[in-house]
């Protein structure tokens, strides 16, 4: 089912990204594209820090809940989608069963 | 009785920030926020010396009290510096790929290497350009590679072949205004000429950026370079290289036998001892390490002091070049060096260089006269 497959999407940092963290802001810059350095704050910065290892939206929301109370899952998903669109994160679809 | 002057209190504060996080420093940060004017001066000096990472860390750690507005200013200044470092890192990766493709060996030097290898967090050390060491035999190829990218060479070489044989290196500016410093050796003047470059290439240390391995000098060689950078690069030693060398000495394990081998091979003992003494004094480091004890007890001879004076406050490009002649090992090399600087190619003689060449020619004439007099 579509819903099951989208919830299994794993988000991870794009490996072709160089970055720094001030503790308040996270700065990321792709090394393979000449675009401006992006500065993440708030939820975007927190999600970046959580993604040492790729995780699903549900997994990320669960870890956010441990850190700062239950998040709005729709907001987390919107943030992940935005970061993915901007090329900061990579979204890996689960492999289709053969 | 009067207390310390505002200038001296300010310098103390800048030094205390420079030493933040170094175990062993006795410099104290203030216990309450300073007024906005004083904080503005601090921020300006810290930014000039590329130490926003240390300032922000001191504030974020709670070691340096700051008002909310001051903390925001400090963090934002640091964000700007970090953004610059990231842009440079992208240029570095691209440049290193080109050098690899052209089979040119390289070592990443200075801020980039120190940040990744010597500091607990890479963000503590920002930088304003990229520095690469390439072997003299590959120097011309490396220059071609950078020129093919459309980067502008800032200063032409006096004559063909001068770079790969004698110069410290050369600088390039990209379309975006970024700077790449290509080094053949670690300093100009006699100590640069005498540097045992082969030994620098024997070992390396690797760090990773965006999944790509990059090669830097090994730890003891990085320490050695930080020492040279500290006392031979500027009239007054800047705090950043002093912090770099203290950072390496205090937070890692320096192999003293290896360090002595590297330093001795280049006969750089006097410069290294002076740099370590400066670092221990400016950063008020109380801890005595084997390397600081050695530096304290080291006594430079008259010849070494005369050489170091070439890098002193009243020295010039001409002084360093004249002193470099004496360090060249063969008569043929001395003759080539003097010829290249006395009769440079036309493009070297742009407006900026004319006066420099005139000064140098005067310097060479004086050197020749004094030699004749003494012979």
Mutate to test the interface with A, among B210, B211, B214 (most CBs of A within 10 A): B210
Mutate to test the interface with A, among B74, B78, B82 (most CBs of A within 10 A): B82
CB pair distance less than 8 Å for A22 and B79 = yes
Residues of B in contact with A24 (CB under 8 A): 75
Average pLDDT over residues B290-315: 87
pLDDT of B339 over the 60 cut? no
Average pLDDT over residues B239-254: 93
| pTM for this predicted structure | 0.85
Q: CA-CA distance, B319 to B367, in Å (whole number)? A: 10
Average pLDDT over residues B334-355: 56
B12 - beta bridge partners? none
Q: CA-CA distance, B219 to B196, in Å (whole number)? A: 16
Q: CA-CA distance, B236 to B121, in Å (whole number)? A: 27
Place of tokens 């330093």: B263
Cβ pairs A/B, distance under 8 A: 53
pLDDT of residue B332: 61
Nearest to A22 by CA among A37, A40, A43: A40
E strands, B189-265, in order: 205-209, 212-216
**Confidence grade of residue B57 (pLDDT, cut at 50, 70, 90):** very high
- Cβ count near B29 (within 10 Å): 16
Q: CA-CA distance, B66 to B30, in Å (whole number)? A: 10
Nearest CB neighbour to B56, from listed A22, A37, A39: A22
The residue that leads in pLDDT, B158 or B304, is B304
Sign of the torsion formed by the C-alpha atoms of B280, B281, B284 and B290: positive
Average pLDDT over residues B13-34: 95
Name the minimum distance, in Å, from the CA of B17 to any CA of chain A. Answer: 17
CA-based end-to-end distance of chain A: 15
Is residue A49 less than 8 Å (CB to CB) from chain B? no
């Amino acid at each position: 089912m579509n819903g099951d497959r989208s919830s299994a999407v794993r988000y991870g940092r794009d490996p072709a990204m160089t970055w720094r963290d001030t503790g308040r802001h996270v700065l990321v810059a792709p090394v393979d594209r000449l675009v401006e350095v992006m500065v993440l704050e708030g939820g975007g910065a927190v999600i970046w820090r959580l993604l040492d290892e790729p995780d699903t939206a549900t997994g990320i929301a669960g870890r956010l809940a441990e850190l700062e109370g239950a998040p709005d899952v729709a907001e987390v998903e919107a943030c992940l989608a935005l970061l993915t669109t901007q090329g900061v994160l990579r979204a890996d679809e689960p492999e289709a069963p053969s | 009785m009067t207390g310390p002057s505002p200038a001296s209190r300010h310098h103390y504060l800048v030094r205390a920030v420079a030493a933040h996080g170094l175990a062993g420093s006795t410099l104290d940060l203030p216990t309450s926020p300073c007024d906005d004017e004083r904080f503005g001066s601090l921020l300006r000096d810290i930014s000039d010396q590329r130490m926003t990472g240390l300032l922000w860390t001191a504030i974020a750690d709670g070691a340096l009290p700051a008002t909310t507005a001051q903390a925001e200013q400090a963090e934002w200044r640091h964000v700007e510096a970090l953004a610059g470092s990231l842009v440079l890192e992208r240029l570095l990766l691209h440049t290193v790929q080109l050098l690899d493709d052209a089979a040119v060996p390289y070592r990443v030097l200075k801020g980039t290497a120190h940040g990744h290898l010597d500091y607990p967090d890479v963000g503590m050390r920002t930088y304003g350009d990229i520095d690469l060491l390439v072997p003299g035999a590959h120097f011309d190829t490396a220059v071609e590679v950078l020129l093919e990218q459309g980067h502008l060479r800032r200063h032409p070489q006096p004559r063909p072949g001068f770079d790969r044989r004698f110069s410290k290196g050369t600088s390039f500016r990209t379309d975006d205004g970024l700077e790449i410093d290509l080094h053949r050796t670690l300093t100009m003047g006699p100590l640069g000429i005498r540097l045992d470059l082969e030994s620098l290439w024997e070992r390396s240390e690797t760090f990773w950026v965006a999944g790509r391995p990059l090669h830097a000098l090994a730890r003891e060689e990085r320490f050695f370079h930080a020492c040279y950078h500290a006392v031979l690069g500027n009239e007054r030693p800047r705090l950043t290289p002093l912090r770099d060398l203290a950072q390496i000495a205090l937070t890692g394990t320096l192999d003293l036998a290896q360090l002595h081998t590297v330093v001795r091979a280049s006969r750089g003992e006097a410069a290294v001892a002076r740099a370590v003494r400066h670092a221990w004094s400016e950063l008020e480091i109380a801890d005595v390490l084997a390397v600081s004890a050695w530096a304290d007890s080291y006594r430079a001879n008259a010849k070494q002091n005369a050489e170091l004076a070439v890098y002193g406050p009243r020295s010039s490009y001409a002084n360093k070049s004249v002193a470099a002649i004496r360090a060249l090992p063969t008569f043929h090399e001395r003759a080539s060096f003097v010829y290249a600087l006395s009769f440079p190619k036309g493009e070297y003689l742009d407006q900026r260089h004319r006066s420099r060449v005139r000064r140098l020619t005067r310097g060479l004439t004086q050197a020749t006269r004094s030699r004749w007099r003494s012979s």
